[in-house]
Chains A and B, each alone.
Chain A
């Protein structure tokens, strides 16, 4: 695990219950905020399990490691029948999302299999599901900007989630609040042209960033990525998504969002 270079953990300091921990996994920072007032050993073990899972996902799905299952499958060295349940699940979901987004979410957009656009959110979603099942009902998982919150923060308030300002990495442009949200934001700002219109192979103009709020973080992330790829027509597409809310920043700097988006000051 060469990528796990930085680990920071803070447990129950200054009377604030819970535990906070950050690790570098999947080429990004993943942070965990456990807000339940549980024994320190329990919290530590929950965090251990969470990051063990995330590292295992990285090992299995990394497109940068030639020995990962995804790479072996993509090279044809591993038949589908021999693939893990996780890989088959991810492949099925990516196929579903390809259909649900009219092909704008495409795990094969680069010419080879790269399900990262779904995997990161999915991994965090599963981590959150497992934490809840284990009794840690108040937590926040942030996998490189994909956020899953449940319950309340350590202060007893609903979680407060900032949406990154698309032109200023140190600022936010919107603050959401809630007790059960999956929030994914996709933009053209950080990885440059990583969001391509898969039909034309060129970056789609129109939308600077898209935030999708729903119940499943993997789906929300894929939807946000697809909407950016659609360009301006992505706004209309987002409007017709059932069970999801959204916020959009256009190239000319306008912020639009669903009226029911849980925005706060």
Chain B
């Protein structure tokens, strides 16, 4: 009788263990539900549980503010290294079903680099977004350093009616204006 009790307890315990252990791999299953092109840029290179950016990346907001670069990522996917699944959360089952974001590291591809941020609800990925383009490398330098000039609020490039020019680049054809201007310059010489 006592033996039977032990056996039953043991069975129960091992069943529980099985159930608990089975819980975690489901996370990576969910990750594979992503469309292939998005999943491929989620970098497994970030490695194990201590992957950078598992907590919301403080750098992410500033990058995501950069506008109108969102079309590029779709083209990029072919050249991005396909890697294994999403950054793996820790092996313990999610404690709550609140959403959180995981940001992958910057991935460089042919015409720039990008970063993918996924949003998880519990262990389920509910969104995947490519962050600001381009970031990192020289493109990042350019984006940070380059000067964008606007004329007032119209956003148009400023026309400079600069006198004292020696020559003009870009007047590729023999436009009348170019010839006149050139001739005028010669006449003034």
Q: Which residues of A contact B (CB under 8 A)?
A: 6, 8, 10, 13-14, 16, 20, 22, 24, 27-29, 31, 33, 140, 142, 144-147, 149, 153, 159-176, 183-187, 190-191, 209, 211, 232-233, 235-237, 239-240, 249, 252-259, 265
Q: Contact check, B148 vs A164: say whether CB atoms are below 8 A apart.
A: no
Q: Contact check, B172 vs A187: say whether CB atoms are below 8 A apart.
A: yes
Contacts of A160 in B (CB 8 A): 162, 164-167
Q: Contact check, A190 vs B157: say whether CB atoms are below 8 A apart.
A: no
Q: What are 27 of the A-B contact pairs (CB < 8 Å)?
A: A14-B189, A22-B182, A22-B186, A28-B174, A140-B166, A142-B168, A144-B171, A145-B168, A145-B170, A145-B171, A146-B169, A147-B167, A159-B166, A160-B164, A161-B166, A161-B168, A161-B169, A163-B168, A169-B175, A175-B165, A190-B173, A211-B169, A239-B139, A240-B138, A240-B139, A256-B147, A257-B146
A163 and B174 in contact, given A252-B155, A254-B148, A259-B147 (Cβ under 8 angstroms)? no
Known: A162-B165, A211-B170, A252-B155. 17 other contacts (CB 8 A): A16-B189, A29-B182, A153-B166, A160-B162, A160-B167, A161-B168, A162-B162, A169-B171, A171-B159, A172-B160, A175-B162, A185-B169, A190-B172, A190-B175, A209-B170, A236-B134, A240-B137
A-B contact count (CB 8 A): 170
Contacts of A28 in B (CB 8 A): 172-174
- B111, B166, B172: the one contacting A149 at CB < 8 Å is B166
Bound: A163/B170 CA distance, A = 6
> Is B22's beta carbon under 8 Å from chain A?
no
Q: Give, as a whole number of angstroms, the nearest-CB distance from A74 to chain B.
A: 23
What 1/0 flags go to B14-50 for Cβ under 8 Å of A? 0000000000000000000000000000000000000
B side interface size, CB within 8 A = 47
Bound: A165/B170 CA distance, A = 8
Bound: A8/B181 CA distance, A = 13
Q: Give, as a whole number of angstroms, the nearest-CB distance from A185 to chain B.
A: 3
Bound: A208/B78 CA distance, A = 28
Bound: A253/B155 CA distance, A = 6
Contacts of A255 in B (CB 8 A): 148-149, 157-158
Contacts of B75 in A (CB 8 A): 233
Which partner residue on chain A sits nearest B158 by CB separation?
A: A173
Contacts of B178 in A (CB 8 A): 29, 169
> Is B91's beta carbon under 8 Å from chain A?
no
> Is B89's beta carbon under 8 Å from chain A?
no
Q: Give, as a whole number of angstroms, the nearest-CB distance from A116 to chain B.
A: 11
